[in-house]
Structure 1
Amino acid sequence: MLLIGAAITVALAVACLISLVLYEMRQDALARAKDAVENLSAILERDIERNIEIYELSMQAVVDGVKNPNIFGLTSDTRQLVLFDRSSNAQDLGSLLVTNAAGDVIIDSRSVPPRKANFRDRDYFDVQQRAANAGLYITKPTLSLGNEPSIALSRRVEDARGQFSGVVVGTLRLNYFRRLFEGMTLGDHGSITLLRTDGTVLMRRPYHEQEIGRSIASAASFKPLLQGNKGCFIGTAALDGDRRLYGFKHIGKYPLIVVVGLGTRDIYAQWRQRAWAIGIITGVLDVLGIMMAVGFAKQFHMRLKMEEQLRVLADTDSLTGLGSRRALDIALDVEWRRARRSKQQLSVLMLDVDYFKEFNDHYGHVAGDNALKNVAHCIFKNIRRPGDFAGRYGGEEFCVLLPNTELAGAVQVAEAIRQAVLETNQLHVTGPKGTLSVSIGVATFDGRNTSSGVNSEQLFHRADQRLYEAKAAGRNMVMPQHIEPQRAVSRGLISGRVS
């Protein structure tokens, strides 16, 4: 589980790192897009401002010219040359017209005599007539005298007394903005929009005729355009609903705004492809790593299981099911150290089957093995605590470890085992009693007595000595520590095992 957990942790860490890198890549894509819309809006703003300014200078020259009363004394051709320079005839510029105070056209840059028309009903005429400081007024899209979609630019004309005497009006074809916008690279979902500051759309790419002249003043995406002379924001288009990154710039001193929008789908298109590729590769590698970790964990678990089985086999006597000699030696050392460290008592029982060689010789090895199994069963069922341990020392000898058990309690357990063996009624015709029996030696180590100097080997040796004393005293008995052989008991000695 630790290996799998570590693999999952590493996979999550890699995923977090890749996510951070992808996030930084996304932010970089957005930053590049911001630079692009800001640069494009600045380029368009300069181009439009320059052209309007040139046109405005031509109009201003006409305004200044018609204030001179001598201008109307010139011949028509000479007046045309004086009032109108060649820039007024540039591509996408319409006629420059001069009206009188009644709105009648009195001078026409493209026709001598002037075409007959009256502009008294036009909004720009009303604005210039009412406001002396109106300056250059730019109208909503309209049709020029040549029936071409245009915007009109007008200036007020005053007489020598400063009274309104008419307007100078010129038209700028919308086709100029359309061609200008089409020359920009935007992506499949980009847009460029030219607006008046009142929200009126003058031109837009992609071009849809029905959108020209439409007002978007109430749209949420229009409000940020009035919060500064330039800026950048992400919003949803009022005209087509696409989500875009917008960069805008007000065009000089004129009431116009140019807005460049890049579709977020275009901005993140390459990033999205790379993110999917990197994400899939990372995911596959993470899954493979976790699968390999799971495989290694399974193999490791199987190895541990096999090692545990081998350890159990090594620590278990195959015949009796009790602990092996190796396990017995380890357990004795561990329990002796624990008893000394925690100042408790540890008792050891050494048990030997009486006259077992004669039993084997008479009944055979198969019966001998069964007899040892019965003795092991009697030992096992009389030691109940988890800390108690029983092992086969070798041949017909067994050893029992009783942690936290004083001498009296150990004798009680030994006597119970001895009695249980007798109650099996295993025939042993070559023995003095006629049935199978055992002799048991008991020794106890007192961890509270730090001056005893008894180690685990000496404790085991004492129990073994008591066993030989029991055999010498006649067998089939329990021989406790510090009791003379003639005082050994054969049943029910002292009670008092610590549990």
Structure 2
Amino acid sequence: MQTDTQKSHALASLARHLRKGGLAPQVIILSGMLVALVMVSLCATVLYQGRLDALERARETSRNLALLAERDIERNFELYALSLQAVVEGMRDADVLALPLRLRRQVLFDRAASAQYLGSMLVLDASGNIVIDSGSEMPRAGNFSDRAYFTVHRDNPDVGLYISDPYLSRLRNGSPSIALSRRLSHQDGSFAGIVMVAVNLEYFHKLFAGLSLGPHGAVSLIKKNGIMLMRQPYDPRTIGRDIRKASTFRRFRSTSEGSFSDTASIDGVRRLYFFRNFPELPLIIMVAEAEDDIYAAWRRRALTIGSLMFVFGLGFVGLSFLLGAQFRRRMRAESELELLARTDGLTGLNNRRTLGEILDQEWRRARRTSSVFSLLFVDIDRFKAYNDTYGHQAGDDALAAVARCIGDCIRRPADSAARYGGEEFVVVLPDTPPAGAARIAEKIRTAISELAIEHAASEYGRVTASIGAASWAPGRDGGDVTTVIKAADEALYNAKATGRNKVSPFVPA
């Protein structure tokens, strides 16, 4: 926002050009076109930033959803792994093995074995036969020596917790499942069988179905060997699919987590992917939002805003043509007279005549609206001594610098400043309570002091100002505008009398 000083200087410069006849209508037209171009450029910049923001929001949303799903899976798998470990340790205990079958099942299998989406927890002997079954007091008949979750432990004693590829359960009517298994060993380290629990893939299906990613979003859980365990949107044909050769999977294995855009090999949709490798499990969680969904709202907004800005730009150019035809004729006659009549030639602030009009206008408005009206009297400390020491030209320069400080410190369009006379200035602050007026006054005082204009005759060694502040509510306190002027002047006198370089509010007697 321009200060009054800046506005006045701009008008003065414009008036000088007009007097010389140097500002042609073509310049105004070109300026209008330039402004229109800047408007369109700013609009394009804002829209581009909006596109980047939409992308960043989608990336953050995908990351949060991936972390949410990862923590749910890790928490449940940790419980299942602990349950398996408890069975392994129980099978090494001769006292547990000596218990009757019913009691042995109760000791070996905790309540996690009955959790939703879990199949039975089974103990298989070295031949792959069921010897203990958490789902039945008498073990069901079955041999699973052909399953990978059995052979991997049989052939390698150091596997630890093993998570299998998807398979169709033989005990649960072909339900798609994965197995978590651990090895059982004899005292001499030889293979004694395994303990395993089946996790129904419906668990992942339900978990991913609760994640909202738009109509074309996707969530996948993939083993680090490239086997798809679950994908949302759900398609049974994708379960167990090997995607090791897909470009997306190569990205998944290149780092622990990351984000990128690519086209899915499964359905050909281009998406923004966020992936994360589980730190403790051989799994990868992938959350992907389709780029069409990410930018759908942005495209609608960009079309609307872009169209409006294009129309406004054309309108602005057309207006500049009209303005160019009228500008020289009107401003040549008016601008200089207006400047001379309303501004102080040295400081560029409003002059005393204009101040009177502003005070009368704001006072009447304050009475109509019953609002608080504040006034600041600013006086440069020991200015006569400054002039005597440094000369009148330096004094004029100091006045102009102080005026710029005052103009820079008032930001609202309704606020105004004027040179009252000599080294005194008045700041008019409509709709400003005493606390707000005191803050602005202190800001002006500090800014003037920070100019660090040398003043050897001052006790502060630099040019400073004392400020009197007064606030009045015409509808409540009565009086007229001279009342608040006198109050601000009295407060200024008090600031001078109590040390200078300070703000003094008016205190009624």
Is the shorter-chain TM-score for this pair beyond 0.5, marking a shared fold?
A: yes
2:73 paired with 1:48? yes
Mapping of 1:418-497 within 5 angstroms? Answer: none
Aligned residues: 301
Deviations 1:248-281 (A, max 9, x none): 2222311011111112122222221211111011
Q: Which residue of 2 aligns with 1:221?
A: 248
Preserved CA contact (<8 Å) 1:48 1:251: no
CA distance in 1, matches of 2:290, 2:177: 28
The question of 1:95 aligning with 2:120 is answered yes
Counterpart among 265, 278, 285 of residue 251 in structure 1: 278
| TM, length-normalised to structure 2 | 0.57
- 1:295, distance to aligned residue in structure 2 (A): 5.5
Task: Tell me if the contact between 1:191 and 1:205 (Cα under 8 Å) persists in the aligned partners.
Answer: yes
Select which of 108, 127, 141 maps to 2:133.
Answer: 108
Of the three residues 191, 194, 198, the one matched with 1:164 is: 191
Match of 1:358 in 2: none
> CA shift at 1:69, angstroms?
3.3
* Contact preservation (8 Å) 1:98, 1:168: yes
Q: Partner residue of 2:230? A: 203
1:189 and 2:220 matched: no
Q: Match of 1:16, SS? A: helix
Structure 2 CA distance for aligned equivalents of residues 170 and 143 of structure 1:
14
Partner of 1:33: 58
| 1:242 is the counterpart of 2:269 | yes
CA contact 1:229–1:250 (8 Å) conserved in 2: yes
State yes or no: 1:125 paired with 2:160: no
Return the letter of the residue paired with 1:200: I
Q: How far 1:140 sits from its partner (Å)?
A: 1.2
**Which of 146, 152, 163 pairs up with 1:138?**
163
- State the match for 2:315 in structure 1: 288
Q: Which residue of 2 aligns with 1:359?
A: none
Offset, 1:292: 3.4
Secondary structure of 1:222's aligned partner: helix
Secondary structure class of the residue paired with 1:107: strand
Higher relative CO (Cα under 8 Å, sequence separation at least 6) belongs to 2
Partners in 2 of 1:17 and 1:231 — Cα distance?
32
CA RMSD of aligned residues (A): 1.9
Q: 2 CA distance for matches of 1:250 and 1:50?
A: 15
Displacement of 1:28 in angstroms is 1.5
Q: Provide the C-alpha distance between the structure 1 equivalents of 2:311 and 2:230, rounded to a whole number of angstroms.
A: 50
Letter in 2 for 1:153: L
2-structure distance, mates of 1:280, 1:127: 64
Paired with 2:137 and 2:326, the residues of 1 have a C-alpha distance of: 103
- In 2, Cα distance between equivalents of 1:252 and 1:114: 36
SS of equivalent residue, structure 1 residue 221: helix
Counterpart position of 1:268: 295
Match of 1:176 among 203, 209, 220: 203
Partner amino acid, structure 1, of 2:155: R
Letter in 1 for 2:111: R
Q: 1:11: how far off?
A: 1.6
Tell me how far apart the structure 1 counterparts of residues 176 and 42 of structure 2 sit (CA, whole Å): 56
Task: Output one character per residue of 1:24-61: Cα deviation in whole Å (capped at 9) or x when no partner.
Answer: 11112222222111111111111000001101111111
Larger radius of gyration: 1
Given the two structures, how large is their TM-score scaled by the length of structure 1? 0.58
Counterpart of 1:79? 104
Q: Which residue of 1 aligns with 2:388?
A: none
Amino acid at match of 1:193: S
The residue that corresponds to 2:377 in the other structure is: none
Task: Tell me the distance in 2 between the aligned counterparts of 1:104 and 1:139.
Answer: 18
User: Partner residue of 1:367?
Assistant: none
Contact 1:49 1:252 in 2 (8 A): no
* Equivalence for 1:66: 91
Deviation at 1:294, TM superposition (A): 4.7
| Aligned equivalent of 1:152, options 164, 179, 187 | 179
